[in-house]
Amino acid sequence: MKCLIFIVFLLSSYSVYAKQDCTREYNNLKSHQKVMRNGGSSSRMAQLAKEEHVIASEYQDCRSGKNKASKNKNTIKKQVKSNNRPATKRQLSFSKQKPIKYTRPISFSGRFKGEKQVAWVEFYETPNECLKPKSTQAFAKCMAHRDEQAFIFDKRWRNNNAPPSIKIN
């Protein structure tokens, strides 16, 4: 009787242990399905579907106890499509983000309009220290410099392009 209880306990604990041991495969499958939900090109989706099939079969094998080999290692290596190198953490985090869908065109506006904007772009030269400011104070100085230059440019523009009947001092 004790032997029978021991065997029943052993069998039931093994199935619980096996299910706990498959959490890595289960989490891997769920994270892969999450990546697939984000979408992508048709060729990328076909590749992801193949990988999902392999991961799902690994999970099912683990649950049924067929996969007793190394359960801790992933057999699917995520690779960058362009050069078949293992993907970096940054690339993987980019692939998990949802793509941004724009419904309206993006418009850019400058400080001035039309010919005046073209002349401003030709007039203003960004100082070297303002190309990549190292601090917010440096950035503020660059913005102040730009504003000063815009004021000077606007004054010159009005003097040079004013109608002859209007004199600006």
Our count of domains for the chain comes to 2
Let me know if residue 107 belongs to a domain. Answer: no
Q: At what angle do helices 136-161 and 114-123 cross, to 10 degrees?
A: 120
pLDDT > 70? residue 59:
yes
| Residues 91, 118 within the same domain | no
| Residues 121, 81 within the same domain | no
Q: What is the pLDDT of residue 79?
A: 41
Q: For residue 36, is it left (φ>0), alpha (ψ between -120 and 50) or beta?
A: alpha
| Residues 7, 76 within the same domain | yes
Let me know if residue 11 belongs to a domain. Answer: yes
Give the residue from 72, 33, 76 showing the smallest Cα distance to 54. 76
- Which range (19-23, 51-55, 74-78) has the least confidence? 74-78
Q: Supply the mean pLDDT for the chain.
A: 75
Q: What is the pLDDT of residue 136?
A: 94
Let me know if residue 166 belongs to a domain. Answer: no
Q: What percent of the chain has pLDDT over 90?
A: 17
Single residue among 96, 123, 151 that ends a domain in this structure: 96
Q: What is the pLDDT of residue 21?
A: 72
Range of the domain at 43: 2-96
| Residues 38, 11 within the same domain | yes
Q: Please report which confidence band the pLDDT of residue 93 belongs to, taking 50, 70 and 90 as the band edges.
A: low
Tell me if residue 79 falls in helix, strand or coil.
strand
| Angstrom distance (rounded) from CA 168 to CA 162 | 8
| Residues 18, 84 within the same domain | yes
Q: Could you report the per-residue pLDDT of 99-117, keeping only the tens digit for each?
A: 677 677 766 677 888 888 8
Q: Which two tokens stand for residue 65?
A: 């106890």
Question: Which of 86 and 57 is assigned the larger pLDDT?
Answer: 57
Q: Which two tokens stand for residue 111?
A: 């400080």
Question: Average pLDDT for residues 136-141, to the nearest whole number?
Answer: 94
